[in-house]
Chains A and B, each alone.
Chain A
Amino acid sequence: MTGWSLSGTVRLRGEVLFRGEIALSPGWTCLMGPSGAGKTTLLRLLAGLPVAAELEGRVLRPGRVGWVAQDDLLQPRQSVGANVALLERLAGRAVDPARVERLLAQVGLAGFAARRPATLSGGQRQRVALARMLMQQAEVVAMDEPFSALDPATRRQMQDLARGVLRGRTVLMVTHDPTEALRMADRVLVLAGGTVAEVPLPGAPPRDPEAGGAAGALLRLVRAVS
């Protein structure tokens, strides 16, 4: 256990979105569920970000939480390097340019520090967002459909890259894509009807790309729960 958990009742305009406890453990956890179930709300609560819903209960969170959203949130008027260092600057910490370079190299963007975000492809932009998150050295990472806007080939590359660079950390990722969940997750949680259920993963190793049949089964399960 990492001490990253949420327990209590989450209500949106009087309606219960969630009641119970979510405790995250090191490794990759995917949070799935039908649209409007409140996945993003739970994720944001766990990350300490403002939500429209109310939490009656508590969130335990280690000091720093990494954040990757569907939108890369790159600052258009700042260089790629400045974007990677942005959260450090926002936090008032000193920025080591060599570390920025190292992280850019780690996400496959060596030599991109001086470029402008507008000159990058969607996949490259999300790589910068990943490097920016790595720069924070957060123990736990919250991701809100980080790869859903990418084309399938780029998405698979990014999934592999993210798994590689975040190995050993505690990651909670919201996704709509059962294939993605099966590819990446050590645990799959499904939020539906106000509770979270852990889905037993099929026999195939979670990152087996050939798990199409199992993905279908998971999709059917998600629909059944909703």
Chain B
Amino acid sequence: MRRALVAVAALLLVWQGAVWATGLPPFVLPAPWAVAAEGWTSRAMLAEHGLVTLAEVMAGLGLGGAAGVGFAIAGQVVPALRRWIDPVLAATQAVPVFVLAPVLTIWLGYGMGPKVAMTTLLVFFPVLSALTDAMDAVPEAHLDLARIAGAGRWRTIRHLLLPQAVPGLLSGLRVAATYAPTGAVIGEWIGASKGLGYLMLMANARSKADLMFAALVLVVAMTLTLRALVPAVKDPS
């Protein structure tokens, strides 16, 4: 925590130093205190748009996380499924999700739909691959216990694979939590009437760099908070 504070302080100093050294006008590079002041003045607006983005992020995390966990378990229950799913997933991951944003907006409109869809797509893969890898990593010898007990796939997953895969799942969720706000903000850039991404574009169009930076700081704070909320579980050896 102390190191984080030192890092933030150092960043602010460098920022302020850059403002002084370059002499750039405030609509290009506002000083940190100007951003803070603007953030305070526009706090009601930032909160309103921030809550919209947060709602999109949470919905995306929930849907993408649930889909990732569901597919990972389905791949364990029916191993044959994986031979079909894996190449399709690899192909979909080869398409940068951001290029889908305009398409999603056409399909789902200008509301929260396309933003939630973007976030869901960004969250889905890290969760799926982290959980799949973690369950695959359970040593073969441990599966002997399931065989000795005569356990079917489902009970093996529930009592043997999933408990051992919890740290892997959480590390996937942590990655996903870092991506999720990006998905929502980019969705908002393409077309929205609410949200921090929308606010940033609007501030940009009005040369209000201080408001844009304030929104950016809020996105960063949201990302870091979400990441920190996913508990880090170290596997006792």
Contacts and interface: CB of A to CB of B under 8 A. Distances in A.
Interface string A16-54: 000000000000000000000000000000011110000
B43 interface: no
Contacts of A76: 164, 235-237
A48 B147 contact: yes
A91 B150 contact: yes
A116 B155 contact: no
Contacts of A75: 142, 160, 163-164
Nearest to A69: B141
Contacts, number: 66
A90 B236 contact: no
A225 to B, nearest CB: 29
Given A71-B141, A76-B237, A117-B236, A87 B148 contact: yes
B149 to A, nearest CB: 4
B146 interface: yes
A49 B142 contact: no
Interface in B157-204: 159-160, 163-164, 166-167
A137 to B, nearest CB: 12
A116 B148 contact: no
A97 B220 CA distance: 48
Given A92-B155, A116-B236, A77 B166 contact: yes
A73 interface: yes
Contacts of A65: 148
A86 interface: yes
A92 B159 CA distance: 10
Contacts of B236: 76-77, 116-118
A92 B156 CA distance: 10
Contacts of A50: 147
A89 B151 CA distance: 9
Given A65-B148, A67-B148, A117-B236, A90 B155 contact: yes
A55 to B, nearest CB: 16
A116 B142 CA distance: 17
A90 B155 CA distance: 6
A69 B160 CA distance: 17
Contacts of A77: 163-164, 166-167, 235-236
Interface string B218-237: 00000000000000000111
A25 to B, nearest CB: 22
Contacts of A49: 144, 147-148
Nearest 6 pairs between A and B by C-beta?
A118-B236, A90-B149, A90-B151, A91-B149, A87-B149, A67-B148
Interface of B: 139, 141-142, 144-151, 155-156, 159-160, 163-164, 166-167, 235-237
Interface of A: 47-50, 65-67, 69, 71, 73, 75-78, 86-92, 116-118, 136
16 contacts: A48-B147, A50-B147, A67-B148, A73-B141, A75-B164, A76-B236, A77-B164, A77-B236, A86-B145, A87-B145, A87-B148, A87-B149, A90-B146, A90-B155, A92-B151, A136-B149
Given A90-B156, A92-B151, 20 more contacts: A49-B144, A50-B147, A66-B148, A69-B144, A75-B142, A75-B160, A75-B163, A75-B164, A77-B166, A77-B167, A88-B149, A90-B145, A90-B150, A90-B155, A90-B159, A91-B149, A91-B151, A91-B155, A92-B155, A118-B237
